[in-house]
Homo-oligomer: A and B are copies of this chain.
Amino acid sequence: MADSLAELQEALDALVEERDWAQFHAPKNLAMGVAIEAAEIMEHFQWCTADESYSLPKEKRAEVANEIGDVLLYLLGLGRTLDVDIIAAARDKLALIREKYPIEKAKGRATKYVDLD
Contact = CB atoms under 8 A, between A and B. Distances in A.
Interface of A: 1-6, 8-9, 11-12, 15-16, 18-21, 23-29, 31-51, 53-54, 56, 61, 63-79, 81-82, 84-94, 96-98, 101, 103, 106-114, 116-117
A21 B113 contact: yes
Nearest to A21: B113
> So how many copies of this chain end up in the complex?
4
Nearest to A97: B15
B73 A72 contact: no
A36 B37 contact: no
Given A50-B28, A70-B93, A92-B66, A2 B87 contact: yes
Contacts of A97: 15
Given A4-B3, A93-B69, A107-B20, A15 B98 contact: yes
A116 B66 contact: yes
A47 B3 contact: no
29 contacts: A1-B87, A2-B88, A3-B4, A3-B6, A4-B87, A8-B90, A19-B103, A19-B108, A19-B109, A21-B111, A26-B50, A27-B64, A28-B49, A28-B50, A29-B53, A31-B44, A34-B71, A35-B35, A35-B41, A36-B42, A36-B46, A66-B92, A68-B78, A68-B90, A69-B86, A70-B114, A71-B75, A72-B87, A76-B90
